[in-house]
Structure 1
Amino acid sequence: MSLLEVRNLRKAFGGNIAVDGVNFDLHAGELLALIGPNGAGKTTTFNMVNGQLRATAGSIKLNGTELTRLPPREIAYLGVGRTFQIAATFASLTVVENVQMALLAHNRKVYSFWKPAAAYYREKAMALLAQVGMDSQADRASSELAYGDVKRVELAMGLANDPKLLLMDEPTAGMAPKERNDLMALTKKLVVDRNMAVLFTEHSMDVVFAYADRMIVLARGQLIAEGSAEEIRNHPKVQEVYFGTGKTFEKKTAGAQA
């Protein structure tokens, strides 16, 4: 059985149908890219999986559990993590305190003013930071970090609930080519090491083709193609709709400019 099963997913905003009958599966240990031109419906689809938007119709199941009527917090407790296009950390806290706060939230605990957040879950927070290569900077203020390092801290925070599925919204947005490559190589390693699934949206095609195990392509709210990098690269409908010219994708290394 697939970890994530999406069937006949539909979202309408008044008379505008943003997502129309989308179907796909995602398996543990797989990195799946959700791509498409602007306005394709990928962000809407992504937010329905996360629970930020409620589907008009259709089904989203995680290990057989229906998610479409659950709020984001309950979906997180079932094992769905999330990172955002713009990295969100508490600048006033240290690196490790940010991860401790994520652990506190997952464990439904509230820290008291006489027992600061730094007193909780430090060992587990340090272990998560080690996984993303940030344990040596644990006690630095988050406000002092380079943007690429902030994204690594956010990734550690996204792992705080030990997710079966991690949703990554434009994970490399705003990053330099080397930073993009490093972050996605790390994500790929975590997918394998943790046997978790990752669904990510991304505009940088070099990242998508270098790291995605499979891709699904949306256009005008409908799924028009799915497959491997080579299958998507040579798919005539994708070439026509994605670029509007029929030209082929150029092969790029992960470190190249998008």
Structure 2
Amino acid sequence: MSLLSVRGLTKDFGGNRAVDGVSFDLRPGELLALIGPNGAGKSTTFNMVGGQLPASAGSVKLNGAELLGLPSRRIAQLGVGRTFQIAATFSSLTVRENVQMALLAHHRKVFSFWRSAARQYAAEADALLGQVGMREQAARPCSELAYGDVKRVELAMSLAAAPTLLLMDEPTAGMAPAERNALVGLVKQLVTERNLAVLFTEHSMDVVFAYADRVIVLARGSLIAQGSVDEVRRDAKVQEVYFGTGKTFGAHAQEAGPA
């Protein structure tokens, strides 16, 4: 049964159709990659699903509830978490405090002074940090962390609201290969443990083919292929869009450019 159902999603910018009738489903416990070359429309599609960009037409339903037209905050309250291409953390706060802030926002608590909030949800924050391998660094300022660890903190923050759907925009951007694999491997583990549905955009084909359960491919605003990693890897249209005829992902995975 689908958790997320996208039908006929369309976006026009003036006379230019950036996304043209895209449809796909996402089930609980599934890691779905959204890929495409430059100008394919994947960022536009991603931002319409998350509520950052209004759609011109179509439908985006979570457990049967329409998301289009709702503000991002309301979409988050319905069970949609999000991480960003550039990690959204507070560098002046500690690792634990960042997650506490996310928990406070989820519980709709507002404090005039951080000192009043510092004792709130500390145990819950540490539990989330434990899930992403950052419990031992809870007291460190985020400003001292390596970038890969900052992305782990952001992931813990996105889990604060116990989402059923997690949207991840270029989660490995700016990361070394070892960091990329460690982060997406962690996400894959969380997908299984939490029965979480994850939609992510990604330019690293090695990451996509190693961890995605299914892949959807956009080109010039249209969905040109979807299926398992092997099905998409073998698809002649996908190969031509990325590399020209005759080439395969297996030999040229690293040549794919960013969105």
Amino acid at match of 2:226: E
Residue of structure 1 equivalent to 2:150:
150
Q: Is structure 2 residue 192 aligned with structure 1 residue 203? A: no
Contact 2:35 / 2:216 at 8 angstroms: preserved in 1? yes
TM-score (norm 1): 0.96
Q: Deviations over 1:22-66 (max 9, x none)?
A: 000000000000000011000000000100011100000000000
Q: CA separation in 1, counterparts of 2:58 and 2:75? A: 17
Q: Is structure 2 residue 116 aligned with structure 1 residue 92? A: no
**Closer/same/farther in 2, CA of residues 139 and 114 from structure 1, 3 Å limit:** closer
Structural mapping, 1:20-169, within 5 Å: 20-113=20-113, 115-169=115-169
Q: CA separation in 2, counterparts of 1:105 and 1:84? A: 17
SS of match in other structure, 1:150: helix
Residue of structure 2 equivalent to 1:224:
224
Which range is displaced more, 240-249 or 205-214? 240-249
Contact 1:30 / 1:196 at 8 angstroms: preserved in 2? yes
Q: CA separation in 1, counterparts of 2:252 and 2:239? A: 16
Q: Is structure 2 residue 13 aligned with structure 1 residue 3? A: no
Q: CA separation in 1, counterparts of 2:143 and 2:63? A: 38
SS of match in other structure, 2:111: coil
Q: CA separation in 2, counterparts of 1:66 and 1:114? A: 36
Contact 1:177 / 1:257 at 8 angstroms: preserved in 2? no
Q: Deviations over 1:238-257 (max 9, x none)?
A: 0111223441112689xx89
Q: Deviations over 1:64-112 (max 9, x none)?
A: 0000010000000000000011112101100000000011111111122
Residue of structure 1 equivalent to 2:235:
235
Amino acid at match of 1:87: A
Q: CA separation in 2, counterparts of 1:237 and 1:83? A: 30
* RMSD value, Cα: 1.6
Runs of 5+ unmatched residues, structure 2? none
Q: Is structure 2 residue 215 aligned with structure 1 residue 215? A: yes
Q: CA separation in 2, counterparts of 1:11 and 1:108? A: 32
SS of match in other structure, 1:96: helix
Contact 1:97 / 1:117 at 8 angstroms: preserved in 2? no
Q: CA separation in 1, counterparts of 2:6 and 2:224? A: 15
SS of match in other structure, 2:166: strand
Contact 2:236 / 2:245 at 8 angstroms: preserved in 1? no
SS of match in other structure, 2:183: helix
Q: Deviations over 1:106-161 (max 9, x none)?
A: 11111222743312111111110000000000000110001110000000001011
Q: CA separation in 1, counterparts of 2:192 and 2:211? A: 12
SS of match in other structure, 2:224: strand
Aligned residue pairs: how many?
256
Contact 1:6 / 1:59 at 8 angstroms: preserved in 2? yes
